[in-house]
Structure 1
Amino acid sequence: MIEQLLHEHDSTADNIRNTLSALILRDKVTLAEIFYSAMLEDAEASKLLSAKSVESHLKPGLCLWLRKLFCHDSRDELKAVLAMQRHVGEVHARADIPIKLVARGMRLLKREINSRLVNTALAADEVVKAILYADRLIDIAFEEMSAAFVHSRDSGVKVDEGFRLFAAGQNLSLEREKQVSALLDWENRIFRALATEMPLDESSAIENSAFGLWFHHKASLLFNEADGLGMIDEIIRRIDHSILPQLYHDSGQGLRPAEARTLIKAIMADVGHVRYLLGEMFERLTDLDVGRDALTHIFNRRFLPTILKREIAWNRKKGDPFHVLMLDIDYFKQVNDEYGHDSGDRVLQAVAGLLMNQVRASDFVFRYGGEEFLIVLAKVDQAQAQEIAEKVRRCVEEVEIPISNNRVVRVTLSIGLAGSDGHPDYQRLLDRADKALYAAKHAGRNRCVMADE
């Protein structure tokens, strides 16, 4: 993409680029006004926007995007332009903005910019070149944005499906045994057919077996491992398209015993390799990977986007506010340094248990990372969220946590709170809660701070 942008930049005359840059710098605010006025009038787009977010964040963001895209001078600036496109695509994916709305917006911007280029001092042929240049820049930006959107959305879909499996009580140990059993059942059926001289045909293929169907339709949802899945797929194709056809009896030509043994050994080796790969992937699909923190047994952050997107959608639909609490154990490093990491682990486990006991069944508690935790409080206003946060803080402060050698420690929490504000990107909510947490720690720790609206 960077080479395409460079080509467009280098192959366009300086006066054309300068005219377009000057036009963007002069009219970027007006273009943003027109863009979001049209979006707010669109029934589908208006559901995703609020007048407040448009004025405070989206219009300034669009102005910045226009300036960076059309007013670049160096290769480093072009790289920054592409990085911004990828970021915008990821934000749109997190906020569930349909890509067709973005395409509609790009078309509107092209029309407005092109109509203004007609009224510049450029000659007629230069106006055509300027219009083509502007269109190509927007197309390249949109292509980069779309690629990031699709990648982020695909990753999100896998996580969402993983959450559904998790929420449904997926038993991974049972699933592993079930699929290994299905694989061995297919192998046994093949060997029985060979031993009894029963004919083999395309229906005998492993891809048509219970294991093959599971692998092709569900394994990719369960495992996010391209290498392991790719190797198993390659083995399945080798068995189905290379080894089994040599064992088909429908041709009427029998194999010599030595040849048959060689092919059977090849199947056994491949099945053994598949079992090994499956075992490795299931082993790596520990509680940490499927949504539980291995130490505290509460949610890790894998499913946080799924939860926050659902709460944002519910807030948009019903108007019910929700809040995020970002919590950090104060001076946790001192606990590790003075008492050892085993004692630190016990503190983390105890705090996680206390948090779970202080929230409602509708709330979600996550280990966010290290000594940080995060709570999503569903359907609470600001006063209720502050009350819950303060209750949590006091509870942790008052408890003596037993550690090694019959000793106990006390710890405190710093808590940052942020409430839903109608913005569709959950990352912004997390950033606000994180800033509030920083403010709580900067103010002396062991306190709760509400994020600025």
Structure 2
Amino acid sequence: MPLTPRQESDEATRLDRMAQSWRDHLSKAPQATLQLLAALPGPVVADLANDFYRALLDDPRASRFLSYDDVWTRLKPALERWLHAVLKAKSDDAMELTQLNHRAGSLHARIDLPVDLMTQGFRILRHRLAEALQREEPDPALAYSALCVAGESMDLGLEGMSAAYVSGSERSARSDATYRLFSLMRNAGTERERQRAMLLDWENSLLYMMASGGDISSISTLTETEFGRWFIHKGAPSFGDHEAVVTVQRAMLAIDALLWRLPDAGSDRMHLLEAIRDHLSNIRQSLTVLFEQVSELDSGTDALTALLNRRFLPSVLRREILLSDRSGDRFALLLLDIDHFKTINDRFGHAAGDAALRHVADLLGRLTRGSDYLFRLGGEEFLVVLVDCEEARATMIADQICRQLSATPMDWSGVDQGITVTASIGVAAYDGHPDYEYLMRRTDAAMYQAKQAGRNQVCVSRISPTAD
């Protein structure tokens, strides 16, 4: 959720105060002490970073945020750079240090890193630094002075990170709550009937298969249907903590278990079918209860295309990352940028440009599922969040969108053949990295690669860009 002008002003004031604290601290530190810290050998700093991450990786909770490859190829070098910046800092570096710590704290908030993991890491850093100074400096008084200065520097760093973490977490919580309300209230009546129809279609398919003696094992479990995906990825997080949500979740699991038993049930088949239909009835009743809470609300949508705007993108991506980490199912992003959009505006007028945006939005709606998310990010950029989707399938969908778009000219008065609209599309599948901005950067890089390769094509993210 973007900062308001008042929040931006408050944050700037806080950063200025923190920078002044750094200046005061470093200007009072003895010159010999600063020189000792700045002269610590690179291998010593590398060992500090090694010890920091070894300790964190021993904590079972860290597995959600830290993978082995990420730690040793990306995070450890980043920590070494931070340590060098802190240990070599002078008073003139105060604002740079403040902003560096602010970015780190904001990142921790985005991935919801437990605060005690970070404070534990800083405690280990301080302890290992004390041991290193005792080895490197024969003068105990100078070593102690260096430890005191470095310790206060680390405290200031942790203070800056913590302030940014709290601010970011509060914004995320407000955004998530607002998004939940928005999701509930957006076209509630239409969504309720659509999901009820999907439930009925699944039930009728099961009844037909049983009546015709078909292969019941070919029926998808309810969790795997479009209704199941919608409820897991949109319904449950939108309705929040409500007992009817739990009822639906339990009923879906019970139906899937009964469906698995049906092929070999023999004389019990009708009894199992009756139990399945009872659970379906409970789901319908629970949906009625949940949807009765809501009414229409249009904020959070793009007025021109009726797609979501970027306001709730962080909430959606945080939720999908959490679901993916829990279930093991992957998701993917498609970033689509209309080719030569300025030319369309200049040649045919801004009304044609608006029509092109609606044309793309309509096509995206036809070629994606109801459980997926469609955003207009602004200008001529669109983002698709494909839930329960591996990279190969996401690439196929992107190729289909690209081909269908270029093969379907937009009708426009005075242009007999219509206006051809094409797009460059970047694809990136979630790879386990907990920061959604990292995934967005990968998708953005792939889209620009498609632009540079000649436009009207799809490029898949293969090489992860450097993350903060």
With normalisation by structure 2, the TM-score equals 0.69
Residue equivalent to 1:112: 128
> Is 2:460 the counterpart of 1:450?
yes
Over 3 Å counting, the alpha-carbon distance change for 1:81 and 1:24 in structure 2 is farther
Q: SS at 1:416's partner residue?
A: strand
Q: Give distance in 2, aligned partners of 1:171 and 1:418.
A: 30
The 5 Å alignment of 1:9-408 reads 9-23=26-40, 25-73=42-90, 75=92, 77-169=93-185, 287=298, 290-405=299-414, 408=418
Gaps of 5+ in 2: 1-17, 189-296, 464-468
d(CA) in 1 for partners of 2:46, 2:334: 36
Match of 2:438 among 408, 428, 431: 428
| Bigger shift: residues 83-92 or 8-17 | 8-17
**Percent same amino acid among aligned pairs?**
38
Specify the code of the residue in structure 2 equivalent to 1:445.
R
Q: What amino acid does structure 2 have at the position aligned with 1:310? A: R
Match among 419, 439, 454 for residue 409 of structure 1:
419
Distance 1:309 1:24, change over 3 A: farther
Deviation track 1:225-257 (CA, whole Å, cap 9, x = no partner) reads xxxxxxxxxxxxxxxxxxxxxxxxxxxxxxxxx
**RMSD, matched Cα:** 1.9
SS of 1:376 mapped into structure 2: strand
What is the SS of the residue equivalent to 2:334?
strand
Between 87-96 and 43-52, report the one with greater CA deviation.
43-52
How far off is 1:345 after superposition? 0.5
Q: Supply the distance in 1 between the matched residues of 2:413 and 2:116 (Cα, whole angstroms).
A: 59
Are the aligned partners of 1:321 and 1:419 in contact in 2 as well (CA < 8 Å)? yes
Change (3 A) 1:373 1:119: same
Question: Which position in structure 2 is the counterpart of 1:236?
Answer: none
One-letter identity of the residue aligned with 2:449: A
- The secondary structure found in structure 2 opposite 1:297 is coil
**TM superposition shift of 1:122:** 4.8
Structure 1 letter corresponding to 2:78: G
Alpha-carbon distance between aligned partners in 1 of 2:448 and 2:430, rounded to the nearest angstrom:
19
Deviation track 1:299-344 (CA, whole Å, cap 9, x = no partner) reads 1111111111111112211211111111100000000001111111
CA distance in 1, matches of 2:327, 2:58: 21
Query: Which deviates more, 399-408 or 323-332?
Result: 399-408
Kept in 2, the 8 Å contact 1:347–1:403? The answer is no
Partner of residue 236, structure 2: none
Q: Would the alpha carbon gap of residues 404 and 92 (structure 1) be closer, same or farther in structure 2, given more than 3 Å must change?
A: farther
Secondary structure (helix, strand or coil) at the match of 1:368 reads strand
Q: CA deviation at 1:52?
A: 1.6
Name 2:288's counterpart in structure 1: none
> The residue matched to 1:23 in structure 2 has which SS?
coil
| Deviation (angstroms), 1:444 | 0.2
Q: Check if 1:2 corresponds to 2:19.
A: yes
Output one character per residue of 1:404-429: Cα deviation in whole Å (capped at 9) or x when no partner. 45663111010011111111111011
**Residue-by-residue CA offset, 1:168-223 (whole Å, 9 max, x unaligned):** 11699xxxxxxxxxxxxxxxxxxxxxxxxxxxxxxxxxxxxxxxxxxxxxxxxxxx
Structure with bigger gyration radius: 1
Cα separation, partners in 2 of 1:24 and 1:365, compared to 1, 3 Å: farther
Instruction: Render the CA deviation track for 1:64-109: whole Å, top value 9, x for unaligned.
Output: 111111112461x332111111111111111111222111111111
Q: Where does residue 199 of structure 2 map in the other structure?
A: none
Letter in 1 for 2:51: I
8 Å CA contact retained: 2:425, 2:446: yes
| Contact preservation (8 Å) 2:22, 2:91 | no
Equivalent position SS for 2:454: coil
Q: Please tell me whether the aligned partners of residues 414 and 437 of structure 1 are also in contact (alpha carbons under 8 angstroms).
A: yes
* Distance (whole Å) between structure 2 residues aligned to residue 339 and residue 426 of structure 1: 37
Give 3-state SS (helix, strand or coil) of 1:119's partner. helix
